[in-house]
Amino acid sequence: MSAFAIKGATAFVTGGASGIGLAIARALAGEGARVAIADIHADWLDAALGDASGPEIGTVLDVTDRAGWARARDQVEARLGPVDILVNNAGIGPDLNPLADMPPEHFDRLVAIKLTGTFNGIHTFVPGMRERRRGHVVNTASMAGLMASARLGAYTASKFAVVGLSEVLRAELEPHGVGVSVLCPGLTATRLAETSARAGVSKVSAGPSPARAALDPAIVGDLVVEGIRHNHLHIVTHGEYRPHVERRMARVLDAFDRVPVRNPDGIPTRQVQETEEENPE
């Protein structure tokens, strides 16, 4: 697949009124794209649209509302033309409870926004991209979609799911000329805690703030632009997490190494050897 032409494309970014979403919107606009942002917070949208270098239009959208997605698509495409770039970025943070103690409504809300919300965007815009044989989808997951940590249960589950969903979508769309990327950022300066509170998933204190400063979301925006342009499947922002992911993958591969070697009858070779030793001719 040749480099994707961002200039002149129409982009739709959810969770686009702040943080990573707004940074992606600004980066795409800087490359000449026509950008629409969607966010559940109307006041944040108003503030974001006041930036002349950023998105052109905004729409209030709850990503769990499928009828709202259809309305947003009609509104945006009537003004800017068919959407070529979809960025499913909307999300909320973890509540930091152990899974066994997590309020079920928190689990449901996290999964509904991050996982089902991502599917809703795909369902709304990807058929048109596939028909036109042009487009790119970016799904925001997290470093928590590549490695697991305690007290991030529903958050991690939804992020792992978004990674898998994105890899499936890429396999399905590659024959149609549509690219797919999954963004896996580490700690980035966003308004995620405030978003979580507004969504009714209160983020409890996790203790002292991390020593390492949060990444400037503008850097993430630039990385996403490169990922779209070159159709990178995985977009990672924090290289220091590589050893953690390597250890996880090593554990997965180790499980394969423990699978018994079987003969053509499906019997583990060790068992065959033990049977022969017990019943010598």
Tell me which residue of 136, 93, 88 sits closest to 115, measured CA to CA.
88
CB neighbour burial string for 203-213, b if at least 16 within 10 angstroms, e if fewer: beeeeeeeeee
Q: Which of 63, 155, 195, 215 is catalytic?
A: 155
Q: Is 8 exposed, middle or buried (0-12, 13-18, 19+ CB in 10 A)?
A: exposed
Residue count of the chain? 281
**Largest distance between two CA atoms of the chain:** 88
Is-catalytic flag, 155? yes
DSSP state of 266: S
Determine the distance from the C-alpha atom of residue 3 to the mean position of all C-alpha atoms in its chain, rounded to a whole number: 22
For the sheet with 85-88, list strands across it: 57-60, 34-39, 10-14, 85-88, 135-140, 178-184, 234-236
Would you state the structure tokens that stand for residue 40, as one six-digit string?
């559940």
Type and span of the H or E element at 67: helix 66-80
| Angle, alpha carbons 267-272-276 (nearest 5°) | 155
Residues with catalytic function: 155
